[in-house]
Structure 1
Amino acid sequence: MTAYNVLFLCTGNSARSVMAEAMLNVLGEGRFRAWSAGSFPAGKVQPIAAELAQAFGYVEPLRSKSWDEFAGADAPSMDFVITVCDDAAGEVCPVWPGQPVTAHWGVPDPAKAEGSEDDRRRAFQQAWMMLRQRIDLFLALPLDKLDRLSRQAQLRAIGQTAGDEL
């Protein structure tokens, strides 16, 4: 069985995309290899995002990195590229080798949360749960039985419907 390569994109690559990377790598159980990147990486991962990933069982170091690392000829060929912030969805992305299926799963930015430490943690937990719901739906798709257009439609539908009940 070949693993599917998935790239999660966000502008800063400090919270949502790195949480999605960690989550899919844990839940995908070898069926998926996930990475994350940003168009303008912050250079550091938000501490609460790293804490949530570690508590979930992700042991690899998370780092904020540029999407340029994944656009070169020596980069892994992506099967799926998913933007998780509205800014990244509106940006002109590089041309990804292999023409991956793309989708947008907008998630509110927990790093912009204001208020007490509890308020900030709650924002990160809400973003985590929204991503978890969407990744669970993604994992349930019979990808080996779907053609490219069906994969595209299913992936985009997940981004439009999941999380509405949170």
Structure 2
Amino acid sequence: MSDKICNVLFLCTGNSARSVLGEALMNKLGAGRFRAFSAGSQPKGEVHPMSLEVLTSFGFPTEGLRSKNWNEFTKPGAPEFDFIFTVCDNAAGETCPVWPGKPLTAHWGLEDPAAVEGEGQRQAFVDALRYLRKRIELFLMLPHASIDEMAMRQKLREIGRSEGASSGASA
């Protein structure tokens, strides 16, 4: 995987918060080595406004972010993924489409910041961004060019159990 740009898909049911945060983080932190996308099984149709506000406040680009159905990535001409991460427990339990190629998958579940209402909501989004950032940084530090598939799968699972993991992420 030395010069190859790897495609990463973040999945969540609604594709309005956690998966969108993952997409934005990976696209910036992956610095051209990784290209990220996000999708949902039942997309809300719009990105949660607090996702956009928090990303912008921390200097992450939001242009082009949108809520979309995962079926968009099963059509001819869609990117072939190297990695797929579910970031909500519901999406982890759903029957996903058959993805072309042999992407490595892992569950990186986080509590839904959009479920928090009132004055604590912004902090819930900041926390989700922080947890995802830490996971992506750990992922980017892995020796992608030299690690074998079994070791990579184990490392991806370990990352998913890191700080901020939802109760469904401990499996």
CA contact (8 A) 2:106 2:157 kept: yes
> Is the contact made by 1:7 and 1:78 (CA closer than 8 Å) also made in structure 2?
yes
Q: Distance in 2 between matches of 1:39 and 1:142?
A: 31
User: Which residue of structure 2 lines up, in the alignment, with residue 3 of structure 1?
Assistant: 5
How many residues end up aligned between the 2 structures?
Answer: 162
The match for 2:106 among 97, 103, 108 is: 103
Where 1:33 maps in the other structure, the secondary structure is strand
Answering whether residue 18 of structure 2 is matched by residue 16 of structure 1, we say yes
Distance in structure 2 (CA, Å) of the matches to 1:57 and 1:10: 20
Deviation at 1:160, TM superposition (A): 1.1
Q: Work out the CA distance in 2 between the residues paired with 1:90 and 1:54.
A: 31
Equivalent residue, structure 1, for 2:97: 94
Residue ranges of structure 1 left out of the alignment (5+ in a row): none
Shift of residue 2, structure 1, vs aligned partner = 1.1
Query: 2:21 and 2:92 mapped to 1: Cα distance?
Result: 17
Aligned ranges 1:15-94 → 2 under 5 Å: 15-55=17-57, 56-94=59-97
Sequence identity percentage: 55
Task: Normalising by structure 1, report the TM-score.
Answer: 0.93
Q: Partner residue of 2:158?
A: 157
